[in-house]
Each structure stands twice: as C-alpha cells, then as structure tokens.
Structure 1
C-alpha cells in the first residue's frame, strides 16, 4: 500500500505544466494524491506550445523535402517547377498541431481529476504556493509536496536582442509571414543545428555561425563530421571558429558582426545561444531551495531539492535538457514522495536524438569518454552505405557505432547516424538499459533487409570467441 492510499490524500502542487510537470501530475494522481498544476502558458507548457513539439513538426516537413531531394535517384521524376514550400502554411500547421497537443494533455489531466490553474506560482514556504491567476485573483495552495518544473527560456545577449520579426529566438520563428531569403543561425549546438538543417532542407539559404571548431561540439565527433559534410554539400555556409559579437537590424535586413570584424548579411537571424532557467521570482532560495551559479535548481537523483518536500524536474534543473528526462524526473519525484518503487535517474541510460538530416541518436557511454580513458570499451563502427536497405533507399550518409566492455561484451553505448536514427537507437537503448551483451544483441533476429540489420552486424563484429 502506498503512502497516499494509507491515509488522507496527499496534496501535491506542481508549478509548471510541461513534460516534467504534467507527467508527474499523472503519476501522483494514479497513486491517489490530490494534484494541482499551475501553468501560465497552457497544458504542455513551452515544450508543447513553443519549443519541442513545434520544432519537430517543422522538421517533419523538412524531412519530406530531404526525401524528395533524392527522388530522381529512385526513379521518381519531379517536374521542372520542383516542389515548393509555403512557409506560412507550414507555420500555421505547426501552431495548430502544438495547440491540439496542448488540448489533448489538458483533457487527459482533467480525466484524471487533476486541477489545472492558469497563472504563475511561487513558493511562500515549502508547504505553501501562492498563485497569481491569469484572471487577476490570487490563490493559495497548501501542499504536502511541491514540484518545481518551470523550464527554461532562450538565452539572449544585450548585443543581440530579438525583435520577433527579423531577429528571432527559436520560440518566435513560427510567426514568420514571409520566407527568409537568407537565414543566419547563430549557435551550432543541438538547437542551432536542427533549425539550420531544417531551413536548409526547406530551400532557404542558411549561414550557420559556430564559435567552435565544428557543429555539434557536444556530440559524437564522427557523427558531427558526417552532418557538417552533408550540410555543406547541400549548400549551407558553415562559419567555424566564428564568434558572434552583435546582431543589428536595418529595415528588412540584419547584420551579424563577428568578433574578428567580419560581417554577415541576411534577411533574418535566429539566435540559438542556449537556455537560462526560469527560476527568478519563484521564492526558491527564500524557501531553502539551493540554486547553482547559473540559477538552475540543485537536485539529487530522485529529484529532491535542498528544501524538505520540494522537488524539481526538467530544464530548470539543468540536468539534461530533454523532454524525456524532464518527464522521468517528474515521475521519479512523485514515486519517491508517495512511497512507490523508484530507481534513481541514470543518465547513462538516456537516449537522445538530434533531429537534423541525417539524424544523430546516442545512448550510454560516448567515444569521448572511451578516448579519455573514463571507461574501457571496444568500438565497432559500420557505415550505412554498406547496408542493403540503405542502398535501396538511396542512403549514403550515416553509420552505426557500438561500444562494448572488453571481456564481458556488455553493450555500454552506441551512436546511430542516418534517417530515423531516433527510432533505430531503441534496440541499443534496450541493450544498455538491461546490460545485454553484444552476443545477445547479435543473436536476436532482424528483418532482412532493414537498417536495424547494421546494429546486429556491428554486434556480431564485437564477438570474441
């Protein structure tokens, strides 16, 4: 019997209705708690309304254009007019789907008896949340546990202020009413690379400004090299080792000035400079919740903060900015508080994906960790160009890479680069999560022909008799 079932219902207040918040709410309600979610934007939060769902919807259109690009090779002839993208219609669909997803989440919360309050919440104490409601009223929530899941916002600089028209954050691009003639993307991390790849596939001239040696400096180096080569081959201009100093608008154009004095002219500029946590004005430190030097909430592996009864989940913790991690942190918090079985968060079992073309999916230990001697592992990498299904599909770029422990052969990590890598990484994730050996992976049947066959082939090559 859980704690919630043994006496009166526990009262749970959740500040933030994104993946960390609404998934936690569903778990808490399932375990018998009385749950209230406070959200200013709407069910799903910014992840659903302005961030993850909209960006991946835009990218879905870009994926179609990427496939069309190779149609001739597959014997599909497209007329002289080619295929034209109507960016306004694309953005209308993006916003429509985001809103529909938010409505679906709100309906699910209502079905489970969860109260949703539109407004902004702050901690008056670890047991008390004050809500400034959207209707102007103030509401006080007494709580046995509080979950802070307020997310993060796009980082901006004084020298590069977005105006929502020509200089944009990734939350503002869906209001574009004209197709950019030249989009300058500043920042080559995951967000910058995804948008640059998407707009490039949509037929827009893109310049990617990267302060590092290569795109995606935090990802597998072999994967990043494949992506950069593909982007350049498709006509993108990639400016490496180029740090932005300022962005200025001049009427219908923008000028990006680099620290070495060079300038880049375009019609629009997308700022992808990272994120800052939404933790100001929440009364966190006054309630005993510690923040790090960047303002992120400090949490342990079961989502506890330094204040008793206060948990935190999602991007406001800075642990790993993925919707899947936010959701798991929220679930773990409620399982822990309500006395259900719980396993601490293990980041080495998290699979992630960069939604570029090709996609880059990873899980477990990385090549960088192997090279640095943090873990001993044998590595096998197979190019997809040798896979029969990939040949049929006209896929030339990409690979499968597996890491396995010497001796035991246990799979501890993997990388997949190619179309739908986000789907193809799942068998590797299962292997890592369940400590399967390369032999066990190799001996599971795969469909012939299939891209997943390359995972089994890589595992076979890790066999040691």
Structure 2
C-alpha cells in the first residue's frame, strides 16, 4: 500500500498491543505515520499471551487426543505386546505440564514475532502502563513502582487495552484451585474433576477441551441450555456431545459461591445443592481494562459497563481518539479488534474506510465439534428482525462425513424471502471455522443461494453440504415466496 501524502508527518500513539493495537500500529506505519505503541505485558497482549493463542493450542491437543481415541471406529487399532507376547491396548495419556509448556512457548514465540514485525515497520515500542493525558498525549509509567515516566504526544490516539476475567466476591480465584482462564496454564497435572462455572463461549470451550483431555467435567449453566446466546440447534448438538462424552451438565443452576477445601473445591448453588471437585474454572464474563487510564478526564464516553462507546469506524466521542477490541462496546472477538484497529487508523489518516457491520462478522466457538456463524440467525427470523427462510441440512448424510466418522453436525442457511439472498448461516462440524468462509463471502457480497449453488464443490467434501443446502434453498425459497 502506498504511503499517503501529508502536509506534515502524522503521529499515532496506541495504548495496548493486542490484536487491535497491533493492527493499528502496522496500518499507521504503512501509511507513513510516526507510530508509538505502549504495551505492558508484551506485544500481542493477553489475546496472544494468556487467552486466544494458548487456549486454542490446548484445544488442538484435545482434538488430537479425540482423534486417537476414536481411531478404532475407522479400523485403526493401537496395541503393544505384553511380557507373554499377547497384545495390550494402550491408553491415551496427557502430560499436562508438557502441554502447557508447549502452548505458552508458542504464545511467547507469536508475541516475539509480532514485536519483530512492528520494529521492522518502524514502530516505536514502549514497555509500560499507559494512560491518556488529555486528548493528544499518553503518559507511560516505565519504571518499577511507577517511578519513571515517558510522555508521548500524538495527533491520533488509539486505546486497545482489552479486558480481564470477571471476578466474583463469593468466588475469588486463588490461582491454584479456583481459577480464571488465564491461570489454567500453571497446572502440572490434569484436574481430576474440573467444575466450570459459566456456559458461554469460554466455559463451553474449556469444558469441551478438558473433557476430551480425559478430565471429569461438570458444567454449571444458569440458563436453560449451554451457549444461551448462540443458535439453539447448535447448542443442543453440543450438549448432546458433552453428555455422551461423560460431562455432567447442570442447566438452570446458578452458582452462589465457590470455596476451597483441603484437597479441592465446593460450589454451592442458589438452590442449596453443592458440587465438589478438584478445581473450579470461573468463566463468568470479562471486565474492560478501562479504569484509571484517563478516559473520563479526556472526555471519552463510557457505557455503564465500563466499555468505551465507539461508532462503526471505531471512533469515540472525542474526534481524534479511537478504540478497538474488548475494551469497546462493539463485539469481543480478536478478528473484530484487528479490523477495528485498521479501520480506526484508515479513518484517522484519511484512507478509504468501510464501516464495520455486525451482521457480516463471522464468529466461531472452538468446541468439539466447532460452531461457526455469520449474519442473521434463525431467532432473528422468528423475532421478525429479518424476512428470511431457514434450511438445515444434517451432515450425517454427507459422504465425506461418513468417511471420517463424523456423527454430529449440520449446515444451516438463512436466505431472504423472495430474492434468495444469503443473509446468515451456521455450521456445526469439525473445522467449522474454515467451512463458514464461503457462507461469509456470500453474506458479504450479497450472493443468492442460486449463485452459491452453482459453485463447484469437491466431491466428496464437507463443503458439498453447503452447495447441497443452497440447492435445497432454491425450492424452499420459491415455496415460501409463493412462486
């Protein structure tokens, strides 16, 4: 991308080096600005160091364990010979200390790679705690105990400070038995019985991973079903898979408090029941890291939750201050943070900007199987928010699914009544995060079901179910529209 021509060199200061801050810094450097990035933990922020990268690496290990344990269904058997020469069936063993060491190493390597990329692009990096000083400066505490300071003045400020795990007064993490998701990687052994409090995306992902690693897992959900904000059919499939794998799912059960015992934990529910286990993971949401960094003093509007209020180009209530990532009120996804960071800088420096639309953002839940979604949901159609037709195609009939031993999953397409324009979709399947991409393109480019159905899919492949669903939608849409 060619550098823009300015009357003078523009300057950009960024607080927070997570996905949003990193992409903002790269984009600003490419556009010829002087860029300073302030980060306290390391480039990549918590997303890379303690959240997304390590958690998804842990899930990859769990997926490998499942693949080995289910290989016998495909006719692959593992044996070792005993002393008497007869075959013994070995068991899959998880060395959690080695697993955690590997994933934390991967996270640090990713952080180092990102730092090198920024330095090569000419970005100045300051290690320390940053706070706004008015609307054109950032003050950075760089010394131990906040004794040394650095002051950076800039034309444009970008705040991308992320969020931290929410803590409950009645369930305070101790880092040993009662844990947040950032503290899991200190465990040396697989928990004997992990109790997961919270059945949203984070709770479901870790419950799935530790179950597949071999731990006994109890998932406590305060709602009627797990993943209460997701597609109901997808949640039902996951709950069935969880229970089949031996997980105990307690729906309509609110955790009142979590206490440590001599050799474990006890969770007391609101109805007086108790659940005992060896460890407890608290997955009850997150809190934006916006307190005490000068936002209010600079005039930046905050929501009641503490999130920074931004518009579709990531601009705050102060014209030259932008914000990106989980600290904003937009959508807490790493991919969204990255896009917000780039969009903010493009807008501030006068480049071409396409405002973000929530209806075109693709999301994924890294359970086994995965759940990927984009655009309008079936519930939106039922609630009258979208005039659409819904079609669901189980993957069990897909020839490729049969070959690889898939038992669960589906493709669901939402198309606009009459025109057949694809406005949403859900996929439940292994690697759904990859399979959702053609549906995301269809939503982004406003393709019709007929247009997508004419694209050749490899036979046999899981993507064939996408084109099959689109072909089925041709007839369904005609019937719904009265054609």
- TM-score bin, normalised by smaller chain: over 0.9
- State the distance in 1 between where 2:428 and 2:261 align: 40
1:224 lines up with 2:226 in the alignment: no
- State the distance in 1 between where 2:98 and 2:160 align: 32
How far apart are 1:2 and its partner, in Å? 8.8
What's 1:58 paired with? 58
Secondary structure, in 3 states, of the residue corresponding to 1:285? Answer: helix
Question: Which one of the candidate residues 448, 452, 475 is aligned to 1:437?
Answer: 448
- State the distance in 1 between where 2:190 and 2:390 align: 44
Secondary structure, in 3 states, of the residue corresponding to 2:474? Answer: coil
How far apart are 1:5 and its partner, in Å? 2.0
Structure 1 contact 3–338 (Cα < 8 Å) conserved = no
1:85 lines up with 2:94 in the alignment: yes
What's 1:366 paired with? 377
What's 1:45 paired with? 45
Query: CA RMSD of the aligned region, Å?
Result: 1.2
What's 1:461 paired with? 472
Matches within 5 A, 1:8-47: 8-47=8-47
Bigger Cα displacement from structure 2, 103-112 vs 128-137: 128-137
- State the distance in 2 between where 1:378 and 1:217 align: 22
- State the distance in 2 between where 1:431 and 1:81 align: 46
How far apart are 1:3 and its partner, in Å? 9.1
Matches within 5 A, 1:38-437: 38-79=38-79, 80-134=89-143, 136-437=147-448
- State the distance in 2 between where 1:239 and 1:53 align: 29
Q: Which runs of 5+ in 1 are unaligned?
A: none
Bigger Cα displacement from structure 2, 2-11 vs 352-361: 2-11
Q: Are the structure 2 counterparts of residues 266 and 212 from structure 1 closer, same or farther at C-alpha, using a change threshold of 3 Å?
A: same
- State the distance in 1 between where 2:91 and 2:391 align: 40
- Alpha-carbon deviations, 1:114-158, whole Å to 9, x = none? 011100110111001100014642000001000000000000100
- State the distance in 2 between where 1:2 and 1:77 align: 57
Secondary structure, in 3 states, of the residue corresponding to 2:58? Answer: helix
- State the distance in 1 between where 2:199 and 2:143 align: 37
How far apart are 1:81 and its partner, in Å? 2.3
Structure 2 contact 2–30 (Cα < 8 Å) conserved = no
- State the distance in 2 between where 1:366 and 1:15 align: 35
- State the distance in 2 between where 1:83 and 1:187 align: 28
- State the distance in 1 between where 2:209 and 2:122 align: 39
Secondary structure, in 3 states, of the residue corresponding to 2:271? Answer: coil
Structure 1 contact 353–359 (Cα < 8 Å) conserved = yes
Structure 2 contact 178–260 (Cα < 8 Å) conserved = yes
How far apart are 1:233 and its partner, in Å? 0.4
- State the distance in 2 between where 1:36 and 1:317 align: 21
- State the distance in 1 between where 2:160 and 2:387 align: 37
Secondary structure, in 3 states, of the residue corresponding to 1:315? Answer: coil
What's 2:462 paired with? 451
How far apart are 1:318 and its partner, in Å? 2.9
Secondary structure, in 3 states, of the residue corresponding to 1:91? Answer: helix
Q: Are the structure 2 counterparts of residues 240 and 116 from structure 1 closer, same or farther at C-alpha, using a change threshold of 3 Å?
A: same
- State the distance in 1 between where 2:285 and 2:4 align: 39
TM-score (norm 2): 0.95
Bigger Cα displacement from structure 2, 370-379 vs 14-23: 370-379
- State the distance in 2 between where 1:412 and 1:134 align: 51
- State the distance in 1 between where 2:134 and 2:2 align: 26
How far apart are 1:38 and its partner, in Å? 0.3
- State the distance in 1 between where 2:264 and 2:474 align: 57
What's 2:5 paired with? 5
Structure 1 contact 57–94 (Cα < 8 Å) conserved = yes
- State the distance in 1 between where 2:263 and 2:234 align: 36
- State the distance in 1 between where 2:172 and 2:270 align: 17
Q: Which runs of 5+ in 2 are unaligned?
A: 80-88, 479-483
Secondary structure, in 3 states, of the residue corresponding to 1:238? Answer: strand
How far apart are 1:251 and its partner, in Å? 2.2
Structure 1 contact 66–357 (Cα < 8 Å) conserved = no
- State the distance in 2 between where 1:109 and 1:134 align: 23
- Alpha-carbon deviations, 1:357-390, whole Å to 9, x = none? 0100000000110111111111111000000000
- State the distance in 1 between where 2:374 and 2:315 align: 25
- State the distance in 2 between where 1:411 and 1:189 align: 27
